[in-house]
A = this chain, B = another copy of it.
């Protein structure tokens, strides 16, 4: 049996003594550190980031009290933005999808196989096609038609479905509809999109066609947090594959599907294990 664990994510202005303060605090309270990653960005005078995973079975006080004590003793003096997560608290994933099923299925499979510290709680699509597929995983499926003229109503309806399901992560698994800034704002840094190109190259529509027309020798896929600006949010993960003049647009799409699956699955896993800190328009990923 694995002893219970918690994860601490912190970012704050860099200055001497942060590591000593955090590690001494945890040691004092009986928290055994399992994993301790950190990074100091040199931008803006130095920003310190850290992710700790520690055992909670020998704490000298309940975790809620530890959280409170950390706030007073460490977080405030160092002006930290921080959060604490129990490793047993599984995030709740909602997936938005259209007709392409590969990215959706990859997340469902990864979850089903037990490789995800999260649960898929609902799938919403603007097409009815994938209902049977989704329901075979025991996941509720909602068909919410969407389009330019019904955007507001559709997003209202989706927000209801996601709210009712208690979703705290939204995954756009090749969801082929624009999402409004208002909708995005409900899940800040918690809405993940897979873009089928190596961003910032080929932002916008039909990136495989764009890649084909430009004659690139490598194509890619990008998972990023969704922000109000299309295809411009913080990048979580990217991967690439080699192509040549022999590849048609269809070949690029087929190859791209594999890249999209891989990249999205990694990004979702990292997010669900609290391995990603967003800072400005960039991410720190403690993988």
Contact = CB atoms under 8 A, between A and B. Distances in A.
A36 B49 CA distance: 11
Given A202-B200, A215-B281, A35 B27 contact: no
A269 to B, nearest CB: 9
A39 B246 contact: yes
A256 interface: no
Instruction: Kindly report how many copies of this chain are found in the complex they form together.
Output: 4
Q: Is chain A's binding surface mostly helix, strand, loop or mixed?
A: mixed
A41 interface: yes
A54 to B, nearest CB: 9
A26 interface: yes
Contact count band on A: 35 or more
Contacts of A234: 215
A157 interface: no
Contacts of A126: none
Interface string A14-32: 0011011001101110101
Considering the complex of A and B, which 7 residue pairs feature the smallest CB-CB distances, nearest first? A215-B282, A201-B201, A19-B23, A20-B23, A20-B27, A217-B238, A245-B284
